Structure 1
Amino acid sequence: MARMIVHCAAYQDGRRIGASEDLTDALTTARRAGPGAFVWMGLFEPTTEELDRVGKEFALHPLAVEDAVSAHQRPKVEAYQGSLFVALKTLGHHPETHAVTSGEVMVFLGPDFVMTVRHGTDSPLSGLRARLEQEPELLRYGPSSVLHSVCDTVVDGYVEVAAALQVDLDELEADVFAPGRVHRDAAGRIYGCKRQVMTVRRAASPLLEPMLRLERGAPFVRPETAPYLRDVADHLARVNDQVDGMDRLLSDILGANLAQVSVQQNNDMRKISAWAALAAVPTMIAGVYGMNFDVMPELHEPWGYPAALSLMAVVCMVLHRVFKRHDWL
Structure 2
Amino acid sequence: MSHTRLYRHGVLEAEGFPVADVSDHVSDPACAIWFDLCAPSPADLAVISEELGLHKLAIEDVLHDRQRPKLDVYDSHLFLTVYGEQFDSGTGQLTSTEINVFITRNALVTVRENDRFDIQEVIRRWDASRDLAKHGVSFLLHGLLDVVVDGHFEIIQALDDQIEALEGELFDEQPSRELQRHTFALRKSLVQFRRGVLPMREVINSLMRRDLHVVEAAMAPYYQDVYDHVLRVAEWTDSLRDLVSNIRETHLSQQGYRLNAIMKKLTSWAAIIAVPTMITGFYGQNVPYPGSEQPIGFWTSAIVIVTASVGLYVAFRKRDWL
TM-score band, normalised by the shorter chain?
A: over 0.9
| CA drift at 1:200 | 1.4
| CA drift at 1:165 | 0.3
- The answer to which of 22-31 and 132-141 deviates more is 22-31
Q: 1:241-270: per-residue Cα shift (whole Å, max 9, x none)?
A: 111111111122222222211111111111
Counterpart residue number, 1:309: 302
| CA drift at 1:184 | 6.4
| Matching of residue 221 in structure 1 with residue 217 in structure 2 | no
Return the match for 2:19 from 20, 23, 26.
23
Query: For the residues of structure 1 that align with 2:100 and 2:61, how far apart are their CA atoms?
Result: 9
Contact 2:169 2:179 in 1 (8 A): no
Contact 1:90 1:157 in 2 (8 A): yes
| CA drift at 1:11 | 1.2
Return the match for 2:195 from 173, 191, 202.
202
Counterpart residue number, 1:192: 185
| Matching of residue 95 in structure 1 with residue 89 in structure 2 | yes
Query: For the residues of structure 1 that align with 2:118 and 2:16, how far apart are their CA atoms?
Result: 23
Query: For the residues of structure 2 that align with 1:121 and 1:44, how far apart are their CA atoms?
Result: 7
Contact 2:156 2:236 in 1 (8 A): yes
Query: For the residues of structure 2 that align with 1:312 and 1:184, how far apart are their CA atoms?
Result: 42
Query: For the residues of structure 2 that align with 1:142 and 1:122, how far apart are their CA atoms?
Result: 26
Counterpart residue number, 1:168: 162
Q: 1:162 to 1:129 in 2, by over 3 A?
A: same
Query: For the residues of structure 2 that align with 1:130 and 1:159, how far apart are their CA atoms?
Result: 18
Contact 2:87 2:95 in 1 (8 A): yes
SS of the residue aligned with 2:198? helix
Return the match for 2:120 from 120, 126, 129.
126
SS of the residue aligned with 2:90? coil
Letter of the 1:309 partner, please give it: A
RMSD over aligned Cα, in angstroms? 1.9
Counterpart residue number, 1:255: 249
- The answer to which of 89-98 and 51-60 deviates more is 89-98
Contact 1:13 1:136 in 2 (8 A): no
Contact 2:72 2:78 in 1 (8 A): yes
| CA drift at 1:76 | 0.4
Instruction: Identify unmatched segments of 5+ residues in structure 1.
Output: none
Contact 1:183 1:257 in 2 (8 A): no
Contact 1:107 1:116 in 2 (8 A): yes
Alignment of 1:33-52 (within 5 A): 34-52=28-46
Contact 1:18 1:26 in 2 (8 A): no
Q: 1:23-51: per-residue Cα shift (whole Å, max 9, x none)?
A: 342331454xx432122111101111111
Query: For the residues of structure 1 that align with 2:306 and 2:289, how far apart are their CA atoms?
Result: 21
Q: What's the TM-score once normalised by structure 2's chain length?
A: 0.93
Contact 1:274 1:328 in 2 (8 A): yes
| Matching of residue 55 in structure 1 with residue 49 in structure 2 | yes
Alignment of 1:268-279 (within 5 A): 268-279=262-273
Counterpart residue number, 2:73: 79
Alignment of 1:317-328 (within 5 A): 317-328=310-321
SS of the residue aligned with 1:196? helix
Q: What's the TM-score once normalised by structure 1's chain length?
A: 0.92
Query: For the residues of structure 1 that align with 2:289 and 2:177, how far apart are their CA atoms?
Result: 52
Q: 1:38-77: per-residue Cα shift (whole Å, max 9, x none)?
A: 2211110111111111111111101111111223110000
| Matching of residue 10 in structure 1 with residue 6 in structure 2 | yes
Query: For the residues of structure 2 that align with 1:184 and 1:310, how far apart are their CA atoms?
Result: 46
Letter of the 2:317 partner, please give it: K
| CA drift at 1:8 | 1.7
Query: For the residues of structure 2 that align with 1:176 and 1:218, how far apart are their CA atoms?
Result: 52
Q: 1:67-118: per-residue Cα shift (whole Å, max 9, x none)?
A: 1122311000011111111100111112232221111111111112110001
Q: 1:22 to 1:184 in 2, by over 3 A?
A: closer
Query: For the residues of structure 2 that align with 1:220 and 1:42, how far apart are their CA atoms?
Result: 23
Query: For the residues of structure 2 that align with 1:142 and 1:238, how far apart are their CA atoms?
Result: 28
Instruction: Identify unmatched segments of 5+ residues in structure 2.
Output: none
| Matching of residue 289 in structure 1 with residue 283 in structure 2 | yes
Q: 1:112 to 1:182 in 2, by over 3 A?
A: closer
Percentage identity across aligned positions?
A: 30
Letter of the 1:87 partner, please give it: T
| CA drift at 1:121 | 3.9
Q: 1:269 to 1:121 in 2, by over 3 A?
A: farther
Query: For the residues of structure 1 that align with 2:232 and 2:121, how far apart are their CA atoms?
Result: 25
